[in-house]
Amino acid sequence: MTNSSHTINRQWSDRIVQRTDPTFRHRWEVWADAICGMLQKHSVWIDVGCGANTLVQEYGHRAASATGTDIVPPEHPSSATFVLMEPSKLPFPDSSADLITLRFVAEHLPDIAGSFGEIVRVLKPGGHVMVLTTNTHSPFIALPRLLPFRLKNALLRTLFRVREVDVMPTFHRLNTPRAMREVHPALRLVRLDFLQDANYTRRPIFLLFYAWHLATRPTPFQRFRTNLLAIWRKE
């Protein structure tokens, strides 16, 4: 999608939102606000599975130290600190981080106990871990799970213009509210939000997802939204 098409689609979708539900916020807006609310001048922040490392580049100045990590180097490297590594082997000292974030990483972790054990090791007492991930209670997540990986890969790349290298196998072992409440005995869940995004890359997709947002506004139905945002505190 060209920059002009992206802008036009964003303006088009924003007009619909303003007419129907001005309180709606995209998941990346909620995520960015949550990060900024956690960061302080003394904070040590590690963004696991950082992708292009744009979050560290944009908000790293709010912390004393900010590092992005991933198993694939950013396509366009920046001045933001980056470490190439597996999420199950964090090359950081014990009790060294105030905030660890995982954005669309948790669904790809085959060993939740091992990965979160490593997160707990690196996190300071009183520190926080934040996760933005998919919600398997949503039909938009549950139904595609039935598809073969190669077919799902092709659909994601076609519908959402995702690079093939960014589409990885999913395990969904932390992708329910119950699993999040039981993730690790040293972590206490302090926030859990159900978010419905509305990707405007393609207008039909936006209309479908935004209609689902409107349909799930009543509290009992929000648990069927496509994304979960969770924050834990290390006790």
Half-sphere exposure of 120 (CA within 13 A, CB side): 16
- Residue 152's pLDDT is what? 59
- Residue 77's pLDDT is what? 87
Supply the mean pLDDT for the chain: 91
- Residue 139's pLDDT is what? 94
Res 5 pLDDT > 90:
no
Res 186 pLDDT > 80:
yes
CA angle 208, 212, 217 (to 5 degrees): 155
- Residue 165's pLDDT is what? 45
> What are the sequence ranges of the domains in the chain?
26-234
- Residue 161's pLDDT is what? 54
**Can you tell me the distance from the alpha carbon of 182 to that of 66, in angstroms, rounded to the nearest whole number?**
28
Task: Give the other-Cβ count within 10 Å of 229's Cβ.
Answer: 19
**Dmax over Cα atoms in the chain, in whole Å?**
50
Question: Which of the pair, 2 or 137, is modelled with greater confidence?
Answer: 137
Percent of the chain with pLDDT over 90: 78
Res 224 pLDDT > 70:
yes
Q: 12, 173, 205, 25: which is closest to 106 by C-alpha?
A: 173
Question: Which of the pair, 75 or 40, is modelled with greater confidence?
Answer: 40
Res 118 pLDDT > 80:
yes
- Residue 154's pLDDT is what? 63
pTM, to two decimals: 0.91
- Residue 202's pLDDT is what? 87
Strands 65-70 and 44-48, by their bridges, are: parallel
21-55 pLDDT tens trace: 999 999 999 999 999 999 999 999 999 999 999 99
Average pLDDT (65-85) is 93
136-172 pLDDT tens trace: 999 989 887 766 766 656 666 565 555 544 557 789 9
Phi first, then psi: give them for residue 168, nearest 5 degrees: -120, 160
Q: Helix/strand/coil (H, E, C) string of the chain? A: CCHHHHHHHHHHHHHHHHHHCCCCCCHHHHHHHHHHHHCCCCCEEEEECCCCCHHHHHHHHHCCEEEEEECCCCCCCCCCCEEECCCCCCCCCCCCEEEEEEECCHHHCCCHHHHHHHHHHHEEEEEEEEEEEECCCCHHHHCHHHCCHHHHHHHHHHHHCCCHHHCCCCCCCCCCHHHHHCCCCCEEEEEEEEECCCCCCCHHHHHHHHHHHHHCCCHHHHHHCCEEEEEEEEC
Look at the domain 26-234 and name its fold: Rossmann fold (3.40.50)
